[in-house]
Amino acid sequence: MWHGLLVLVALTMWPSLGAEQARTAEDESAANLANCLKGLPACDLSRLSPAEAAKVSAAAKMRNYDRCLSFSSHCDPTLLSPEQVKMWNDRVRQRNLERCLEAHPQCDPLALSKTQLETVRQAAKRRNLEACLRGSAKCDPLELTPEEMRRVRAASQQRNLEDCRQGASSCNPLELTPEQAESVRLAARRRNLDSCLEGRASCDPAQLSTEERAAVQNALKKRNLQRCLDGLASCDPSMLTAPESAAVAAAYRKRQRPKGR
């Protein structure tokens, strides 16, 4: 009796067990196909149907094509179709042109067409002119036209004038015109006056006019008064007027007063 019941239960469960196994097999097959389409190591090519193998092959070729277009070292040109080879070669030539236009060390001038070569020459001339206008050591004056040379000289004179006005060590006073030399002298006097007014070590009192000396003296007295009010050791009490001395004494008493009173 019990044996008959077991047989009956097994026969009842058999269809559901078969369906579950079929679903598991389908899931595994789909997962394997996904791995193969992505080119993952978990791909089992032996489990693919002919139609799936064709899809996987097409996906692999497309990945290789993408690698070639991105100039990856893993690109295999032998796997490209004739149309893909044409597109890839166009990209290679375009990248070489861009490198040549930027003076990249990997530029191959022999791969350029006549039109591209002329474009690259013009770009090189523009870079050289810009370098010369900036005063760069990369400038090649032999590549300049007479008009470009005049522009470069004018730019050089302007840079020198600005350097001289700012008191830079790169100033060459011999290149200044009389008008420029006068403007440079005025700029130097203004810088010296500012230094004296602020009490900087670069001040040269000998270059000050009578009016400038008076202004510098007033600025010095103001700085000294503030130092005295602050109780600094650099205070010179001999420079204080009577009212200023009183103000300094009051400031001293205030500093000595206990806090909160």
| The predicted structure's pLDDT at residue 53 | 85
Out of 68-72, 177-181, 251-255, least confident range: 68-72
**pTM higher than 0.75:** no
Q: What angle do CA 140, 141, 145 make, to 5 degrees?
A: 125
Copy the structure tokens of residue 33. 């196909």
Contact 69, 62 (CB under 8 A): no
Q: What does the alpha-carbon distance between residue 188 and residue 178 come to, in Å, rounded to a whole number? A: 15
Q: What is the pLDDT of residues 206-247, one digit of tens each?
A: 998 999 999 999 999 999 889 999 999 999 999 989 998 999
| Non-local CB neighbours of 230 within 8 Å, separated by 6+ positions | 251
9-33 tens-digit pLDDT: 454 555 565 667 767 878 788 888 7
What does the pLDDT read at residue 185? 93
* Least reliable range by pLDDT among 12-26, 101-115, 132-146, 227-241: 12-26
Check residue 6 and give its pLDDT.
45
The answer to whether 139 and 132 have CB atoms below 8 angstroms apart is yes
